[in-house]
Amino acid sequence: MKLLIASNNAHKVQEISQILSPYFEELVTMKQAGLSIDVVEDGTTFAQNALKKAQEIFEKSGYDAVLADDSGLCVDALGGAPGVYSARYCGEGHDDAANNALLMKNMEEVPDPKRTCRFMCCVALVRRGKAPIVVEGTAEGLLLRKAQGENGFGYDPYFFYPPLKKSFAQLTSEEKNQVSHRKNALDKLRLALDKEGL
């Protein structure tokens, strides 16, 4: 069975491919499949957005299996924001730098012990003739006041991961792929597939 990964993000695709390649004959991205399908992510949860994306692309692409994810940063002191709006926290068309600048501004009065946060990732797998599988993974951390590290993307430079005493942007891709929210979600998906006997 071919798996269509509903993303063109090279970081995500690499991580997904490393974990799920044993379960599918071939994994292709939207770009590799020559597809351009825009899905409006208007859900209020990561799970709603991931499932909607997977189902819409499944229906329009003709593939037998489609995997989609939605992920973001949830900051406790901000009531879970930016959450599902992580990519557009500073408004549509803004970039990582603008999103991070707004986050730092909104958190400047929050003392260090209360800067708890987590990255969350929800993964949805839709396949022909089977019920969808939707799983969630998290990575717990603390929000830094200054960027640390050159790797990663998005909020990674501001996300301090206590077990490794580094920001996500200070980790190598191999290190991050062992502990990330996406890795935890994909591990749960792998367990679900194992239970099916695939």
Q: Which two tokens stand for residue 185?
A: 């979600």
Continuous segment of H or E residues that includes residue 16: helix 10-20
Rounded Cα–Cα distance for residues 191 and 121 (Å): 16
- Do 113 and 105 form a contact (C-beta atoms < 8 A)? no
Strands (E), the chain: 2-5, 26-29, 65-75, 116-127, 133-143, 159-161, 166-167
- Catalytic machinery residues: 70
